[in-house]
Amino acid sequence: MRKNGIIFLSLMLLLATFVLGGCGGSGDVVATVNGESITSRELDQEVTTYKNNLTQQGYNLEGEQAKELEEMLRQQVLSQLIDRRLVMAEAERLDMMPADKEVQAEIKKIKEQLGSEGEFKKFLAANGINEPKLDDFMKEQLAANKLYEKISAEVSEPTEDEIKDYFAENGAQYSDPEQRQVSHILIGVGEYSNGKNRTDVDAKVLALQVVNKVASGADFGELAKQYSDDTGSKDNSGQYPPFSKGSGFAEEFENAAFDLQESGQYTAEPVKTSFGYHIIRLDKIIPAKTHTLNEVKDQIATSLHSEKVNRKVGEYIQDLRDKADVVNKLAKESDTKSKEDQSTGK
């Protein structure tokens, strides 16, 4: 079992990055972009959103280094806010700001994805925003996307020689490792026993009984449906999709699966993991495969073009920075503090 530049807007991206500071607002000015202010209130709102996202991903933002991490995060987020202002100014200069009907069409798509007006309202409330802010955000994303498409259109496709050279240097990464497809029956222990609160001893006894049924010729898939506590695979006769080593399965499970050598062979001794006891049957061995240039040519071309576009976008944004009148007060404060620390030997 498993242990647990600018792109077109998707619903999941919205969920991940939604809270907006808006333009203006109260608070000290932390930066100006061509005379337009970015306030501490805007920055604080964005930093809070990023911190929440990082916490949800399992990062620990507490402890001795928390203050230093927050200072770094504020610097990074402010740089992103500055770049957003520059991009929006460029989109306006190039007459790329979307019309209201374009914005509303995208919001309509979100409503359709959420299923109903009621779910849409819940979505807004859960993310702490209102419809005017959603309109502003969507307008910004669509404008950024148009600018990205303009830059992308100016980038040439990779040549045949570029593709061949890349494959010659990186062909090894275009290979598939050996995979195994297995079916298994989990006799779970404790919280993994589907509410049965089964002890370790009880689980092992039952697992051995199921092994005996397999040995007697009982249908493995039917046994999985009857006995397995793995709700993710039991209805599929206990079968998992093919996987390679290092795919995220419990180490004991993975080792046992790769020790099996013939289709139909199973673990006569139940395999113990933190989830309980597994009876694992090998269904298929899928040999390792190295792909030819022709097989991965399109994939390489797409990858190389994306790299070119990303470089071009980076250069474009840097050019906007170089031409703009930007005052980043946090960066100045950081430079001053760094100089003071050096002078005092810290």
Same domain, 284 and 311: no
Confidence of residue 47 (pLDDT cuts 50, 70, 90): confident
pLDDT over 50 (residue 12): no
Could you tell me the CA-to-CA distances from 88 to 20, 47, 141, 324 in Å, in that order?
Answer: 15, 20, 9, 13
Neighbours of 7 (CB within 10 A): 10
Same domain, 74 and 198: no
pLDDT over 90 (residue 256): yes
Residue 242 per-residue DSSP state: P
Same domain, 40 and 74: yes
Same domain, 245 and 142: no
pTM: 0.63
Q: In the prediction, which pLDDT does 4 show? A: 38
Is residue 311 included in any domain, yes or no?
Answer: yes
Is residue 71 included in any domain, yes or no?
Answer: yes
Instruction: Give me 251's structure tokens.
Output: 């180490």
**Overall domain count for the chain:** 2
Same domain, 275 and 195: yes
Which tens digits make up the pLDDT trace of 49-82?
Answer: 787 777 777 777 777 777 778 888 889 999 999 9
Same domain, 52 and 119: yes
Is residue 112 included in any domain, yes or no?
Answer: yes
Same domain, 186 and 278: yes
Could you tell me the CA-to-CA distances from 297 to 289, 300, 308 in Å, in that order?
Answer: 16, 5, 17
Same domain, 36 and 151: yes
Confidence of residue 6 (pLDDT cuts 50, 70, 90): very low
The predicted model gives 169-188 an average pLDDT of: 94
Is residue 2 included in any domain, yes or no?
Answer: no
Residue-range definition of the domain harbouring residue 278:
176-289
Q: In the prediction, which pLDDT does 20 show? A: 41
Rg of the chain in Å (alpha carbons): 28
Q: In the prediction, which pLDDT does 344 show? A: 56
Q: In the prediction, which pLDDT does 239 show? A: 96
Same domain, 79 and 196: no
Final residue of a structural domain among 289, 315, 334: 289
pLDDT over 50 (residue 18): no
Q: In the prediction, which pLDDT does 346 show? A: 55
Same domain, 307 and 285: no
Which tens digits make up the pLDDT trace of 83-138?
Answer: 999 999 999 999 999 999 999 999 999 899 988 889 989 888 877 788 888 899 89
Q: In the prediction, which pLDDT does 32 show? A: 93
> What's the CATH number where 135 sits?
1.10.4030.10
Same domain, 80 and 148: yes
Q: In the prediction, which pLDDT does 165 show? A: 96
pLDDT over 80 (residue 218): yes
Is residue 166 included in any domain, yes or no?
Answer: no
Distance from C-alpha of 71 to C-alpha of 107, rounded to nearest angstrom: 35
Residues 43 and 21: beta-carbon distance below 8 Å: yes
Is residue 168 included in any domain, yes or no?
Answer: no
Q: In the prediction, which pLDDT does 337 show? A: 55
Q: What distance lies between CA 105 and its chain's CA centroid?
A: 26
Which tens digits make up the pLDDT trace of 259-284?
Answer: 999 999 999 999 999 999 999 999 99
Which tens digits make up the pLDDT trace of 139-175?
Answer: 999 999 999 999 999 999 999 999 999 999 998 889 9
Could you tell me the CA-to-CA distances from 12 to 16, 18, 80, 344 in Å, in that order?
Answer: 6, 10, 20, 47
Final residue of a structural domain among 246, 268, 289: 289
Is residue 205 included in any domain, yes or no?
Answer: yes
Q: In the prediction, which pLDDT does 338 show? A: 53
Instruction: Give me 315's structure tokens.
Output: 């250069």
> What's the CATH number where 187 sits?
3.10.50.40
Burial 68-95 (b: 16+ CB within 10 A, else e): ebeeebbeebbbebbbbbbbbebbeeee
Which tens digits make up the pLDDT trace of 277-327?
Answer: 999 999 999 999 999 999 999 999 999 999 999 999 999 999 999 999 999
Confidence of residue 345 (pLDDT cuts 50, 70, 90): low
Q: In the prediction, which pLDDT does 335 show? A: 55
Q: What is the mean pLDDT of the chain?
A: 87
Q: Which residue has the higher pLDDT, 345 or 281?
A: 281
Same domain, 37 and 103: yes
Q: In the prediction, which pLDDT does 334 show? A: 59
Is residue 143 included in any domain, yes or no?
Answer: yes
Q: In the prediction, which pLDDT does 150 show? A: 95
